[in-house]
Amino acid sequence: MKAPDPVVALVLAIVACVALTSLPARAEMTEIAVAEQYGIGYLPLMLMEEKKLIEKHAKAAGVDVKVGWAKFAGGNVMNDALLSGNLQFASGGVGPLVTLWARTRGNIDVRGVGALNSMPLYLVTRNPNVKAIRDFRDSDRIALPAVKVSVQAVLLQMAAEQAFGAGQQNRLDPLTVTMSHPDAMQALLSGQSEIDAHFG
């Protein structure tokens, strides 16, 4: 049996969610907002937007919906947009999803719809003195999508505890800076910024 195309599966999941919100027990939703972030990991969403796949499949399911798209720098700001009702679908890492899921249990009950990709994450630096996690100093700045809640922030905490010992998971947190991947890479490559590492 052939595995379903992940883009089609994600589109169908979103259409099903939209269709469920338009059942008679609820007000019909005629417009949804979908958020994506920057980078190749969000290519499935870029294709969905370009080819208007949500609209196409929603129409085939008998639902007329207008789809608005927005780009966000990280999952933390998407969480805020979801909570305020300005966004219906977010795309982000496991960290922001778990944070939002825990915060909304018993009220709006945010859920994960599907996975976009499975990609490695790399921590890179232009500081020649940093060969391992232990080598970061107070003067270093590590850019990542969202301090404390992004998957990169959580993985950095795990690496810090592994390098420095139990209870030391927050040791590198003061070095982290919230920054979108494109801005972080530009800052890192420019050599003019305090940012000398990027976890993306």
DSSP state of 174: G
- Phi-psi label, residue 37: left if phi above 0, alpha if psi -120 to 50, beta otherwise: beta
**43-50 and 6-21 helices cross at what angle (nearest 10)?**
60
Please check whether residue 22 is in contact with residue 58, taking contact to mean a CB–CB distance below 8 angstroms: no
**Site of tokens 């939002």:** 100
Q: What is the pLDDT of residues 146-183, one digit of tens each?
A: 899 888 999 999 999 999 999 999 999 999 999 999 99
Question: Which segment, 39-43, 85-89, 90-94, is predicted with the most confidence on average?
Answer: 85-89
- Place 2 in a pLDDT band, splitting at 50, 70 and 90: low
Query: What's the CA gap between 146 and 176, in Å, rounded?
Result: 9
The residue type at 16: A
